[in-house]
Every structure is written in C-alpha cells, then in structure tokens.
Chains A and B, each alone.
Chain A
Amino acid sequence: MTVLIIAEHNNNTLNPATLHAVTAAQKLGAVHVLVAGNAAAAVAEQAKQVAGVEKVLLAEAAQFENALPEEVAPLVVSLAGAYSHIAATATAFGKNLLPRVAALLDVSQVSDVTDVVDAQTFTHPIYAGNAFETIKTTESKLVLTIRATAFDAAAAEGGNAAVETVAATPAQNLSRFVGRELTKSDRPELTQAKIIVSGGRAMGSAEKFNELLTPLADKLGAAIGASRAAVDAGYAPNDYQVGQTGKVVAPSLYVAVGISGAIQHLAGMQDSKVIVAINKDPDAPIFAVADYGLVGDAFDLVPELVNAL
C-alpha cells in the first residue's frame, strides 16, 4: 500500500505540520509526497530529506501558487490511481482541500485521525473531543486528514527520496487569489510551540491582554493563544483561537489565564502534557483538567509569576 501526502508550503518552505502526516502514513505503507506549487523546487528538496519519504512528486504551474483547492484537487485526482490512501494534516489547508478530492473520487474521508488501527480502521474525535469513534470501511481508497498533535513529526533530515516531476492539470479558473493578510509574530507557531500562554475574556481589553501575557510568553519562549471569548471581544486575532473551531494544540505546558474552560476550548488543549490554570473562580471548569491550579486575580498573579521565573 502506498500513501500520497499532500505537502503544505508557501513555495519556499515546507510547513512542519506536514511532517506529522508523514508519521501517520508510515503506519499504512510507503509514503509519497506531492508538492504542488509555482517555482516550488526548494520545497521538493526539503520534502525529499524527510525521514520515511520514498518519493516526492513535484507539479509546478502558475495556478498552483496559492494552493486554491479548485486547482489542486484535479491534480491530486489525476495521480490518485496509484494510491490506497490520500492524506494531509488537518490544518486549514488540509481541511479545505481534501474533502474536495474525496468527493471527486467518490470516496469517503475520515477527518482528524488520531489513531491508525489498520489500513481501513481509524479513530477520530467527535462531539468536541468528548468521544472518540473508531470506524471501519470497505472502501478501496480513502482520504484522511491527520490530527498533528496525535502523531510525532517525522525527522526533517535523514531521508533521501527521489524527486519526480509530474504533469500539471489544466487551470480551472473558477477562483482567483486576491490577497493574504498574515498575523506578524516572532513567536513560535501556535500548533508547533512547546509552551503556550493563553488568555480569556477576563483580560478585559486588547491592551491588557498584551500587557499581561506578553511578558510571561517572552519569559517562557511561549506562543500566545486565546479563548473564543477573547477573540470575539477583539482582544486577540482570530488565528490565536484554541478550541474545537480553532486550533488543536498539545504543548508540554499550557498556561490558561482567565479562561473558564468551556467544552469547546478544552477540545483544543486537553492533550497538553501539563496544564496550569490561573483563574479567580475556584469553581471554573478549567480546574477539572488543570494539573496545577492557582486561584486568584490574574492581574496580580501573572506579573508575580513573571518575576519568579
């Protein structure tokens, strides 16, 4: 059995999120990686060095530059014949593209795979992570998105795969890329960070959110996250949101500051190795999952914590 992984990249750099899908795919068989892009040879060079990758397929054309699913999905379908599984990491990129591929192939998709039992049996979370469903299929081909936090990243070095150029499919011209506005940050990327400091509604304002959490994150070398309440109130950008509908993270340390711990937030962080909660409400649900809880006013405790580190 051979698995085709769709690489996520920006035409220069392979997104480390892809490395988690490689690890999951190795449980199923040989791993090939598709790099679809425009002038993306550098990405293929990085992909071929990933441990466990047997072959890299490089498809270059102007219409692949911005990873529009209308353009990339037909390409994946044109290559699908040789593969038993087609997979990508369950990021915004993978979630956008793969169901389109699955429907074009008339096959099912399993979203957010957390365990590969065998080639046709997979476990994944449902109901905001309150249950894990193990499902089995008889389909001869399957599409999977892989939950990054459930599989270690494959080593970015050590592999020596062959790079093969494949033909681009014709441009579909159903959609046009207009622009991208990325949040500028020198901090580690949220889903890859070892430590995350997250703030909730109790921060009160965007100024206070930054004032309180930035020194702590700086001290710990941490990424900053937020609850939905904090994002909705405009304290933090949307892409900081951790939870069922935001990002799923599993750092070694997650510090939840002024976050009550709604089901939807817990869905995004309860696999963290150590959880610390700082909250003035001793009955907040976050304390039920926290390894260490500190009851009190975050505006007193967080600066004190920064000084103590």
Chain B
Amino acid sequence: MKALVAVKRVVDYNIKVRVKADGSDVDIGNVKMSMNPFDEIAVEEAVSLKEAGKLTEVVVVSIGVKQCEETLRTALAMGADRAIHVETDGKLEPLAVAKLLKAVQAQENAEIVLLGKQAIDDDANQTGQMLAALLNAPQATFASKVELSADEVQVTREIDGGLETVAIKLPAVITTDLRLNEPRYVKLPNIMQAKKKPLAKTSPAELGVDVTPRFSVLKVAEPKGRSAGVKVETVAELVAKLKNEAKVI
C-alpha cells in the first residue's frame, strides 16, 4: 500500500510575523522557514506505518517556490522514499492546491493521502477536505490515531467535546492533529542519504490545473493591540480590581 503525503514550506512556528508598513502583506523576507508542524506529523505517521510493514512506499509532495525542495529533502531524511515538487511562484489558494494534489494522486494512485490539518500561515484548514471531495474519497480530519487494515482505516478524530472514531474506505484522505505522534529528529547520515533520493519536478501547466486566484488581498493589518496592563502586588488587590475596576466578577 502506498501513501502520498503533502508538505508545505511555511514561516517557522516560533517566529512572530510583522505586517509590512504598506499593509500589502506580512513581511516574511529573511525569516526562518520550516516544514509546517502538522505536515511533519503526517510524514512521521506515514514513515512509521511503513516501518510497521503497513505501507510499501511513502511519496511526499510539495507545491510552491524552488525552496520547497529543502522541505521535501527534510521529509526524505525523515524516511520518505521519493519526492515530487510542483513548482509555482506566488501564493496558491487551498482549492488550487487541492486540484494539483488531485492531479498528482491521479498519477500515483496512493491508497492513503496524508496532510496536516492546517498550515500555520494561512490557517485555512481546507486542503485535505477539498482534496477528499475532488477524489470522491472519504475524509478523516484532525486525526489523533490511525489504524490501517486491508480495506479500511479506523481513525480517531479530535472533536470539540472529546474524541470520535470513524471507519473510512480506501482510498482515503487523512489530516493530522497535534496528538497523532511525535515527529522524529533527522540525523546527519539520513540528511546525506536524502540527497540521493529521487525528487521529480512538475508544474501546474504539466498537471493541467488552472491555479488562477479567486481572491485578491485588499489589505493586511496588525491585530488591534491590547492596552498595557498593570502588575498587582497582592491577591487582595487583584480581587479588588476585578470587582471594582474591571467589574467582571
């Protein structure tokens, strides 16, 4: 059984981004970029399923600028077998990404497609669900446990009130939540090996997908800042402030 894993190159999760002075976008020139944390979890899950003998091949795919190659090499160093880079310039909307992934899936015919539940840059939480719709495949989003059998996969999902388990037919789309696993650190020898693994290149034109944006960004603004608070010295003072000044208790 084969897995296709989608990974995105995003601003590192530790970085607090700033909005550009002209309000056109956020400033991500010269900041550290990394693999989206949820996608690391997706790669880890696929690689561990392969190590457990449940999968035969793990293919990673990334869509975006040339530097996405680094993200793909990281996934290869984690244990993925080969990579596909759909090279584009500029930002893509989740619907366009889902269409490109559908085209890649048409070539690869993987039984399982794994994605992160959301990318920490656009925070959309759409691509996996859209891909499942386009493939007419079932979806299990926000997965915290995945159990694979011959013709279906049981997935425990994180929902608002607790956990829910669904069984979905293959081929299936799964999006990962934080609690699914702890991604491994890549070791130096694996990074060296990953350089020799195959990395194929393609483009939206080759895949026959129209990626014209449906939205235009009018402006990007800083959030409304909170006015500076005060430090209180004692619990009594805090209670008095909450009762008399803030009037919230």
Binding site for B on A (CB under 8 A): 68-70, 73, 91-93, 95-104, 106-112, 121, 125-139, 174-183, 191, 195, 220, 228, 231-232, 237-239, 244-245, 247, 252-253, 263-264, 270, 273-276, 282, 287, 289-295, 301, 304-305, 308-309
Contact = CB atoms under 8 A, between A and B. Distances in A.
Contacts of A178: 154, 165-167
A98 B232 CA distance: 45
Interface in B76-113: 93-95, 98
A138 B178 CA distance: 35
Contact of A68 (B122, B166, B246): B166
Given A103-B95, A136-B218, A238 B179 contact: yes
A180 B157 CA distance: 9
A245 B38 CA distance: 10
Given A228-B178, A253-B242, A253-B249, A295 B231 contact: yes
Contact of B138 (A70, A136, A181): A70
A13 B122 CA distance: 33
Nearest to B231: A293
Nearest to B95: A108
A133 B220 CA distance: 4
B77 to A, nearest CB: 24
B56 to A, nearest CB: 24
A180 B163 contact: yes
Contacts of B214: 107-108, 137-139
Contacts of A97: 129
Contact of A237 (B122, B157, B162): B162
A211 B157 CA distance: 29
B16 A276 contact: no
Interface stretch (B47-55, B60-68, B194-202, B233-241): B233-241
Given A270-B223, A305-B239, A131 B168 contact: no
A266 B124 CA distance: 18
Contacts of B222: 130-132
Given A109-B126, A180-B162, 18 more contacts: A68-B166, A108-B214, A109-B95, A132-B220, A134-B219, A135-B218, A174-B168, A174-B169, A175-B166, A181-B165, A182-B162, A231-B179, A263-B14, A287-B229, A291-B246, A292-B232, A292-B241, A305-B238
B142 to A, nearest CB: 6
B130 A112 contact: no
Contact of A292 (B17, B117, B120, B238): B238
B9 to A, nearest CB: 15
Contacts of B220: 126, 131-134
B242 A232 contact: no
A193 B241 CA distance: 21
Contacts of A253: 242, 246, 248-249
Interface residues on B, range: 35 or more
B70 interface: no
A100 B132 contact: yes
B223 A195 contact: no
Contacts of B187: none
Contact of B223 (A68, A69, A131, A304): A131
Nearest to A135: B215
A134 B217 contact: yes
Contacts of A137: 214-216
A293 B241 CA distance: 11
Contacts of B177: 238, 245
B160 A293 contact: no
B126 to A, nearest CB: 4
A225 B83 CA distance: 40
Contact of B130 (A100, A126, A129, A273): A100
Contacts of B117: 245
A153 to B, nearest CB: 16
A126 B119 CA distance: 10
Contacts of A231: 179
Given A103-B134, A135-B218, A183-B161, A126 B123 contact: yes
A276 B238 contact: yes
Interface in B116-153: 117-118, 120-134, 136-142, 144
A175 B242 contact: no
Nearest to B98: A103
Contacts of A112: 123
B95 A102 contact: yes
B192 interface: no
Contacts of A232: 178-179
Contacts of A134: 217-221
Most buried by B among A106, A291, A293: A291
29 contacts: A96-B142, A100-B132, A100-B133, A103-B98, A104-B133, A107-B95, A109-B124, A109-B126, A127-B17, A127-B121, A129-B223, A135-B216, A174-B136, A175-B169, A176-B166, A180-B159, A180-B165, A195-B248, A232-B178, A237-B162, A238-B179, A245-B117, A274-B246, A275-B229, A287-B231, A290-B229, A291-B226, A292-B229, A293-B230
